[in-house]
A = this chain, B = another copy of it.
Amino acid sequence: MATRTAAQRRAEAAAAYDAYIAECPTRQLLDRISDKWVSLVVNALAGGPLRYGELARVVASISQKMLTQTLRNLERDGLVSRTVTPSVPVRVDYELTPLGVGLLPVMQALKTWAEANMDDVLAARATYDSGIN
């Protein structure tokens, strides 16, 4: 058939467009730092190296699984370094790499805007919700 559905047309446009946004550095950065636990772990490590167990205690609400997963991702991206000391028992330290440290100012900028403007957002949200009910 000659005619195409809306879905097909979207798919064609998306083929080119999505390829772009998927590789968009900003998109990738957002995907990384917006991870529920990444910002917390990075912040915990901002003060210096920590052991696995210490991280688990500092970021108290994180599960073992997510802590490990988060650390693996950060290590994979070169934002955090992992150092194993083969003693008994084994000791593993995690530390921000220079690249990871470079992320701190960015997070700080986010924090600054958030603290300055989230009140307005929350107020808008309350107003909006009250109009609904």
Contact = CB atoms under 8 A, between A and B. Distances in A.
A109 B27 CA distance: 13
A46 interface: no
B99 A124 contact: yes
A48 interface: no
Contacts of A114: 25-26, 28-29
A91 interface: no
Interface string A109-120: 111011101101
Contact of A103 (B26, B29, B113): B113
Interface string A23-56: 0011111111110000110000000000000000
Nearest to A109: B109
Interface of A: 10, 13-14, 17-18, 21, 25-34, 39-40, 60-61, 63, 75-79, 99, 102-103, 106-107, 109-111, 113-115, 117-118, 120-121, 123-125, 127-129
Given A33-B34, A76-B125, A110-B110, 13 more contacts: A17-B60, A18-B61, A21-B40, A26-B107, A26-B114, A29-B113, A29-B118, A30-B33, A31-B34, A77-B121, A78-B127, A102-B113, A106-B113
